[in-house]
Amino acid sequence: MPAAKPQYKENMWINLLVNVALPSIILSNLCGEHQLGPVWGLIFALSFPVGYGIWDFIKLGKMNFFSALGVFSTLATGGMALFKLPPEYIAIKEATIPTLFGLAAVISLYTPYPLVRTFLYSEKILQVDKVNRALAEFGNQKAFEQTLKIASWMLASSFFLSAVLNYALAEYLLVSEPGTEAFNAELGRMTALSWPVITIPSLLVLFGALFYLLSRIKKLTHLGFDQIFNDGSEPTQPTTKA
């Protein structure tokens, strides 16, 4: 039997370098009239996250939804800046995407496919089959469904927080006329500050939701954390009692 193709794992530091650090440096320092200029500087800066999204697609061999969303968001920001739309449009765009995700997390609760199962209760993170068997064994399926609802609202709150912070940061920083060196520098500062000001607080809320979900799973299944997490090994078949 041929060996399975190793799964591609994204490097967080390369992600930060390409999507945050390099665009921020270029927008802040290389957009002067005697350098790249405001327009070409903006295009050059945005080429890094767009190129990274395309490279991610080639490595995966299929469309990664979040990479595609990142490319779309980057192109939308660049297009608004190149067409010199008012900065308020960028602020609204920055808030719209996480707001839609938050609404989707809430609405999906009333469908057979809640988003919390994709983001948190996922086979990539947890041994879902083992957890489900333990829930059935102790008769705690209904209690767990309530847990998933609460975790879904916590997940949605992380997106809503991101939307508020995105909008506030864009409104605060983007004050110059689009298409100018000053505006590009402001866009660079917004990109650089997006990690500490937006991403980290949102991740803390997301990790809080994951911790809540894990603690409830541990209580409802009587499994240890080492039995809940997916360590990447092949799942074992349940043994039958004699």
From the list 220, 56, 46, the residue with the least C-alpha distance to 132 is 220
Give the pLDDT score at 233: 54
151, pLDDT greater than 60: yes
- What's the mean pLDDT when you consider all of the chain? 80
Looking at residue 35, the DSSP 8-state letter turns out to be: T
Q: Are 148 and 105 in contact (CB under 8 A)?
A: no
Which range scores top for mean pLDDT: 44-48, 125-129, 215-219?
Answer: 215-219
From the list 102, 41, 51, 100, the residue with the least C-alpha distance to 74 is 51
From the list 143, 151, 158, the residue with the least C-alpha distance to 213 is 151
Measured CA to CA, the distance from residue 118 to residue 155 in angstroms comes to 11
Is the model more confident about 149 or about 23? 149
Give the pLDDT score at 32: 73
The band of 59, judged by pLDDT with boundaries at 50, 70 and 90, is confident
Full-model pTM: 0.74
